[in-house]
């Protein structure tokens, strides 16, 4: 049986009196990027578009992860935390700068300005680059578990990923639980042809999930070319919609030259889902020190879907609404940062809370209402329990709301 300790030695913790330094494991980031790239190709994203979108996502991870590291006391951030929360913050910063400077002289490269947080954090001794090439069975299994969960989340609406998700899960079981190797190998062998068949026979246009896709495409084109101060659906008016997800897709469309109907239907849903799964894993690690419990809890969450009692029900991956998916992504990022703060692991977290809360409300109004209610209830519960004001919680609650 493999070591079941959740905290893997993939990052370096400085135990001396020197400043805490987070080591970015480039080999793991490269492996994660490779998995995402393969998923994009299988989903029908053209290789050139997939490459450019992935490069943008990696830059966003470095920018957002560097920004996060400047607020964290500890140096033992895991790579899932750095990449997951980094993608959430980095995407918000990059398309934010892109929109603010869309009609200025620096519009062509304004989105790259947040990348400056990367060298800044290295200069301030918050980050360093780890170029050690280490082979780890645990890392490989982690990536397989993440991929399987992503496919599970997408399966209720894409359908074809389900056999592939079950195939990857059986491989994870084969690697993690030796006594189940024979049955998991049999299941995996049976699922290989089924997975290939499910990909080959999917119909043309399998990614068309909703009539609103045309609306999302119009918003993305508006934001990508003219910015939020214009609106292709209503000349002379600004884009008054929870448009943050479409600003991200518009940015990718403009830089990559992506054809219509690709970013909003495949690229963005996949990137958001990978980021969401990474953050869910990071949150689960705060709740359990058992590696198997974390992995199988991840599978259970990935397979979650309520009974369709009304409309679509509620799914983690509502692909027909990228704004819904992005709102959840940022909401989970806020939850993780909130957990760090309750454990006294953040310094001066006010800008971080404000940024993520602003992102949540701009992504989906309903998620903003959930966030405001949650932090408000937390403040009230602590006030009733302690019978006094906690000024730290009060300031953070005020900044969030």
H-run or E-run covering 254? helix 244-256
CB distance 264 to 319 below 8 Å: no
Residue 372 has pLDDT above 90, yes or no: no
The rounded percent of the chain whose pLDDT value lies above 70 is 86
- How, if at all, do strands 22-25 and 127-130 pair? parallel
H-run or E-run covering 128? strand 127-130
End-to-end CA distance of the chain: 47
Task: Break the chain into its structural domains and give their ranges.
Answer: 22-159+202-400
* Residue 19 pLDDT level (bands cut at 50, 70, 90): very low
- Residue 335: what pLDDT? 93
Of residues 375 and 41, the one with the higher pLDDT is 41
- Residue 68: what pLDDT? 92
Q: Give the pLDDT confidence of 23-70 residue by residue, as tens digits.
A: 677 788 889 999 999 999 999 999 999 999 999 999 999 999 999 988
What is the pLDDT of the chain when averaged over all its residues?
84
- Residue 15: what pLDDT? 37
Q: Give the pLDDT confidence of 96-148 residue by residue, as tens digits.
A: 999 999 989 998 999 999 999 988 888 876 666 665 655 577 889 999 999 99
Closest-CA residue to 149 (of 35, 9, 64, 262): 35
- Record the tokens describing residue 22, joined without a space: 């987070």
Q: Give the pLDDT confidence of 143-188 residue by residue, as tens digits.
A: 999 999 999 999 888 889 999 999 999 999 999 999 999 999 999 9
Of residues 248 and 311, the one with the higher pLDDT is 248
Of residues 174 and 387, the one with the higher pLDDT is 174
The rounded percent of the chain whose pLDDT value lies above 90 is 49
């Amino acid at each position: 049986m493999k070591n079941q300790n959740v905290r893997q030695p993939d990052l370096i913790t400085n135990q001396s009196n020197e400043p805490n330094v987070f080591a970015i494991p480039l080999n793991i980031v490269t492996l994660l990027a490779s998995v995402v790239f393969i998923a994009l190709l299988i989903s029908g994203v053209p290789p050139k578009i997939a490459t450019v979108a992935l490069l943008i996502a990696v830059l966003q991870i470095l920018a957002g992860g560097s920004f996060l590291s400047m607020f964290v006391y500890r140096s033992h951030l895991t790579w899932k935390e750095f990449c997951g929360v980094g993608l959430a913050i980095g995407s918000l910063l990059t398309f934010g700068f892109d929109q603010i400077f869309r009609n200025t002289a620096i519009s062509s490269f304004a989105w790259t300005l947040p990348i400056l947080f990367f060298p800044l954090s290295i200069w301030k001794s918050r980050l360093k680059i780890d170029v050690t090439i280490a082979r780890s069975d645990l890392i490989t299994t982690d990536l397989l578990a993440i991929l399987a969960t992503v496919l599970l989340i997408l399966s209720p609406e894409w359908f074809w990923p389900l056999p592939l998700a079950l195939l990857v899960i059986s491989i994870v079981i084969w690697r993690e639980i030796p006594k189940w190797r024979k049955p998991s190998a049999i299941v995996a062998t049976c699922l290989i042809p089924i997975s290939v068949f499910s990909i080959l026979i999917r119909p043309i246009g399998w990614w068309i999930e909703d009539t609103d896709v045309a609306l999302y495409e119009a918003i993305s084109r508006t934001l990508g070319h003219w910015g939020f101060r214009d609106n292709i659906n209503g000349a002379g008016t600004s884009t008054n919609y929870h448009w943050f997800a479409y600003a991200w897709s518009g940015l990718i469309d403009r830089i990559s030259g992506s054809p219509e109907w690709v970013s909003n239907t495949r690229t963005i849903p996949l990137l958001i889902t990978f980021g969401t799964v990474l953050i869910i894993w990071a949150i689960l690690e705060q709740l359990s020190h058992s590696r198997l419990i974390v992995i199988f809890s991840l599978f259970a969450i990935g397979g979650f879907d309520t009974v369709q009692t009304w409309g679509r029900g509620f799914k983690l991956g509502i692909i027909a609404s990228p704004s819904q998916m992005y709102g959840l992504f940022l909401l989970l990022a806020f939850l993780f940062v909130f957990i760090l703060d309750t454990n006294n692991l953040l310094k001066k977290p006010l800008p971080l809370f404000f940024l993520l809360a602003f992102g949540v409300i701009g992504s989906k109004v309903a998620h903003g209402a959930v966030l405001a209610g949650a932090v408000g209830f937390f403040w009230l519960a602590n006030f009733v329990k302690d019978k006094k004001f906690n000024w730290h919680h009060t300031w953070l609650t005020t900044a969030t709301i």
